[in-house]
């Protein structure tokens, strides 16, 4: 799959990447092999939609983006929703982190929703949660080896952070407590 740009006569042709993101409605996906080198963006995962790329670009330092699992009430908590149905959060995390600077000012720029006490007491839920955590940790360390350990945020505090977040990416991830927060840093570091 490749990302193709279609220019419109109603917009100036600046050729800048910013122009491309601001005019994301003019981006199309194509699986055509005949244009394989003509319009492809190199180094950007095809998992990242034009709207998600634009959102990552527009975020400022200390802004947070939520990656919600399929069960997460993102639509109830935030108006800026990006759909990523069918995708798992760990796959998106691995696609986003090469383009995204984690916040170096706060102690823990990567946070997961922590399980409720009654869920922690269930051995299966606890083991599944640990597996999700360890997978995220491996991806974060691959891109940012010196980043602090992933923080746990209480479920209801997580909802409060979601209300203040820049955007929520709703995924198709069906793993329990797979919800994740990334805090953006300054891109010049």
Q: Is 61 a catalytic residue?
A: yes
Sign of CA dihedral 7, 8, 13, 16: negative
* Residue of 26, 61, 104, 143 marked active site: 61
Contact 37, 44 (CB under 8 A): no
With beta carbons less than 8 A apart as the criterion, state whether 81 and 122 touch: no
**Three-state SS sequence of the chain:** CEEEECCCCCCCCCCCHHHHHHCHHHEEEECCCCCCCCCCCCCCCCCCCHHHHHHHHHCCCCCEEEEECCCCCHHHHCCCEEEECCCCHHHHHHHHCCCCCECCCCCCCEEEECCCHHHHCCHHHHHHHHHHHHHHHHHHHHHCCCCCCCEEECHHHHHHHHHHCCEEEEECCCCCCCCEEEEECCCCC
Task: State the catalytic residues.
Answer: 61
């Amino acid at each position: 799959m490749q990302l193709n740009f279609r220019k419109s006569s109603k917009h100036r042709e600046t050729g800048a990447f910013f122009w491309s993101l601001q005019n994301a409605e003019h981006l199309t996906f194509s699986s055509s092999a005949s244009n394989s080198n003509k319009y492809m963006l190199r180094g950007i995962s095809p998992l990242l939609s034009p709207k998600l790329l634009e959102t990552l670009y527009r975020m400022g330092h200390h802004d947070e983006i939520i990656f919600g699992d399929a069960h997460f009430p993102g639509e109830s908590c935030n108006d800026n929703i990006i759909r990523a149905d069918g995708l798992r959060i760990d796959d998106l995390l691995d696609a986003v982190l090469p383009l995204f600077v984690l916040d170096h000012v706060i102690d823990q720029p990567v946070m997961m929703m922590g399980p409720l006490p009654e869920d922690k007491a269930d051995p299966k839920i606890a083991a599944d949660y640990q597996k999700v955590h360890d997978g995220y940790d491996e991806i974060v360390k691959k891109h940012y080896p010196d980043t602090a350990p992933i923080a746990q945020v209480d479920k209801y505090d997580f909802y409060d952070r979601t209300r203040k977040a820049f955007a929520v990416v709703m995924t198709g991830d069906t793993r329990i407590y797979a919800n994740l927060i990334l805090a953006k840093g300054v891109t010049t570091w």
